[in-house]
Amino acid sequence: DAKTTQPPSMDCAEGRAANLPCNHSTISGNEYVYWYRQIHSQGPQYIIHGLKNNETNEMASLIITEDRKSSTLILPHATLRDTAVYYCIVRATLGGGAQKLVFGQGTRLTINP
Amino acid sequence: NAGVMQNPRHLVRRRGQEARLRCSPMKGHSHVYWYRQLPEEGLKFMVYLQKENIIDESGMPKERFSAEFPKEGPSILRIQQVVRGDSAAYFCASSPRQVEDQPQHFGDGTRLSIL
């Protein structure tokens, strides 16, 4: 499984953009980068995923470097409700073509008023 | 569109009892995954099932744990003769297909406490 490296914690002011980095230098060509977050006592919430191109949805933007060895999740206007642990995951492949998610320790993002 | 439903949300068992955790996937999803989260740790994959088939159980403890996803009804994670170390949050996720560009969607988990 490709490993990911994230800073253990980050702070961001409410209303500002939160930029969460992730290194995945051993990613292989057909592996996707996924981002999830987990707000205290809830299940992980899917945010966004991408393969090579930058992606944007209603929650966030995902910027993947050209060599695919790192990526950045951007929350454009952070609110207090964005306080959570954010997980960057490279999808592994199971036998049969399905995938399991390998969660690391993530980044604990705190949005400050 | 209802999300992944897990019940119960909280379950308390005494050592030696059995625990049954249920998971109903999102409508149209036929792939189910179970994960366990120990206190202050990240989620760990346990098992992946399709209807009536276990595809990968590489993360399941060898003893006391079993999972099923019958043709009708929810997926069940069963823990026999529970011990204190089984106390954790158990999350279920589902997806519509087994391709890498389909996200897994999670339920809010069952928090199992062993007395």
Question: Using one digit for the tens of pLDDT, what is the confidence trace for A76-96?
Answer: 999 999 999 999 998 866 554
What is the pLDDT of chain A when averaged over all its residues? 91
pLDDT, residue B101, reads 76
Question: Is the peptide bond preceding residue B8 cis, with omega within 30 degrees of 0?
Answer: yes
Q: Above 60 in pLDDT, residue B1?
A: no
Average pLDDT over residues B13-35: 95
Indicate yes or no: CB of A95 within 8 angstroms of CB of B4: no
> Please, which pLDDT band fits residue B90 given cuts at 50, 70 and 90?
very high
pLDDT, residue A91, reads 83
What are φ and ψ of residue A77, in 5° steps?
-140, 85
**Residues of chain A found within 8 Å of residue B51, distances taken between Cβ atoms:** none
The verdict on B45 touching A (C-beta cutoff 8 Å) is yes
Q: What span, in angstroms and rounded, lies between the C-alpha atoms of A19 and B27? A: 34
Q: Strand order of the sheet with strand A107-112? A: A9-13, A107-112, A84-90, A33-38, A45-50
Here the tokens at position B17 are 């009892």
Identify the three-state secondary structure at position B85: helix
